Each structure stands twice: as structure tokens, then as C-alpha cells.
Amino acid sequence: MAEGQLFELELFGEGVERRYRKMRPEVEEMPWGTLDTSTLAPSAVIAARKAWTGAAYQEHRTGIACAATLRALIEARAPLDLVAVATRFPLDEMVHVELCARMAMELGGGTEIVHDPDAMIVDAEKELTPLMRAADLVVRVFCVGEALSIPLLRGTRNAAQHPLPKAVLARIVKDEAAHGIFGFTFLDWAVPELSEADRIYLGGRADRVIQVIHRQWEKIAARPSRSSGGDALAWMQTDEYLALADKAMRENVVRPLLARGIPVAAHPA
């Protein structure tokens, strides 16, 4: 990265914001202003600010990935109804960005993230056919990333004790449910058009993402245990989170991919 940029967000306001609020009124309906951090340890609050700021950044990255996938689907002439369903995903992610960012603000403000805007996602190789470009992005973004996130978000929502993070996570979970099944719906259409070499290639791409996730889990496992006060900030205990993550990877990612002829080796089924 030659020169990073600070990850910052803004609203245009005026009529544009009013149209946005009309499209997704549930954002303003959250119980904002109800989270009292005075009873929580300062270290827990700082950790939560970092976590929610990081979540906003990750949702922003996913929004880019969803938009890139949508373009690839259109270029591949995927079924119109399938493409139409996918058009809502970038909007969902922008809503999630705002929800996570506002959660950080409720806790005292976002924390600093410096990033490279040109390296937010890994695009599909241009040399691939339009169908394979779409399949590559769908497998990595939806069949792995989004499918894995649903049970983890649901578990985190269930762990939340305060109404605000619980409501925020419930909204995200509701949207992500459609994201999680989309990738496998696409494969049900696309797999008959793929060669064995194509499917092996897609399995390798899935494996690379899974390996990155495994490294993230190793870092999580090495962290000190969070305090019990974290529950109010929508945290799960480390062991519980990692056990759920492993189960979700097997049941929500690996097995559905194998069932559709996409060979995955980076995680046991």
C-alpha cells in the first residue's frame, strides 16, 4: 500500500437522505441513545469501539464485493430474477455500514482505520469467461463469506443483553439470511455449465478464503478472554465463538459446496 487513507463516512443529507430513510426506515427505528457505558470498564468500551468500527469497515468491503458480483452476474447473463434479487445486496451492506458506525458512535466514537481503497477486494481474473468471473466472486463472497456470517451473527445477537446491539444485529441477521443462500442458488443454475476444471478452480478459490479465515481464528484464539461486561456490547466468549465458527464452516459452507461438486479441502466436512 503506497499511501493509506483514513476510513471515514458521511451522509449527503437533504433529499437524498430522506429517500434513503424512506427505503430503509428501520435504521432510524433502532433504540439509539439508550446504551449507558458508565457501568462498563473503559477497556471494554474501547475494545467495543474498535470492534464496531472494524465491523463497519468490513461491511463496507462487503458492499464493494456485492457490487462487483452484481456486475459480473449481469455480464454473465445470469437469470434476470437471480440478478434482480442480487441488486438489493449492496444496499443492505450500506445499511449495515451505517448501523455498525452508529454503534461505534454510541460507545464514544469510531477508532482509526487506515486502508487502501484500491485493495478492498480481490477481483476475479479478467482472463476468465464471464460465467467463471461471476462464479468466482459468488463462491468467495457468498458461498464462503456470507454463508459463514449468518450463524455467527445470530449467535452474537443471542449473546447481546442490551436492546440496542441486539436490535442492530437482528436487522443485519435478517438481511444476511438472503445473502447466505444466494450463492448456492446461483451454483444450482451455473454448475451444469461448468467443466470439472472449472469446479476444481472454484474449489481452490474457496480454499484460499477459508485459509485466511482460519488464520483469523488463530488470532482470535490467542487473544485474552473478554470480561463478562462484554455481553452488553454484543460479544461472545472466545471458545463459544470459535466452536460455532467451526460448525458453521462445516455445515453452511463446506458441505453445500461439496454437494454441488465444488471440491474444498481447507476445512474438514
| pLDDT, tens only, 214-235 | 999 999 898 766 554 444 565 6
Label residue 12 by pLDDT band (50, 70, 90).
Answer: very high
Average pLDDT over every residue of 144-162: 93
- Residue 167 located in a structural domain: yes
**Inside any domain, residue 35:** no
pLDDT at 159: 87
Does some domain include residue 229? yes
Average pLDDT of the residues in 49-55? 94
Contact 104, 56 (CB under 8 A): yes
Number of domains in the chain: 1
Q: Would 188 be classed as within a structural domain?
A: yes
What pairs with residue 114 in β-bridges?
6
Q: What sign for the dihedral angle of Cα 242, 245, 251, 254?
A: negative
> Cα angle at 90 between 87 and 92, to 5 degrees?
100
| Domain around 77 | 40-259
233 contacts: CB under 8 Å, gap ≥ 6 = 40, 44, 45, 48, 51, 107, 160, 162, 165
Question: In this structure, is residue 101 part of a structural domain?
Answer: yes
Inside any domain, residue 164: yes
pLDDT digits (tens, 9 = 90+) for 86-119: 999 999 999 999 999 999 999 999 999 999 999 9
Please report, as a single letter, which amino acid is at residue 136: D
Whether the predicted model's global pTM rises above the 0.85 cut = yes
pLDDT of residue 41: 86
Mean pLDDT score of the chain: 93
Whether residue 18 lies inside any domain: the answer is no
Residue 242 to residues 135, 156, 211, 219, 222, Cα–Cα distance (Å): 28, 12, 15, 11, 12
How far is it, in rounded angstroms, from Cα 72 to Cα 136? 10
In a domain, 132, yes or no: yes
Query: What CATH number is associated with residue 185?
Result: 1.20.1260.10
Give every CB contact of residue 182 below 8 A, 6+ residues apart in sequence.
Answer: 85, 86, 89, 138, 142, 146
DSSP state for residue 193 in the 8-state scheme: G
pLDDT, one tens digit per residue, over 232-265 is 565 678 899 999 999 999 999 999 999 999 999 9
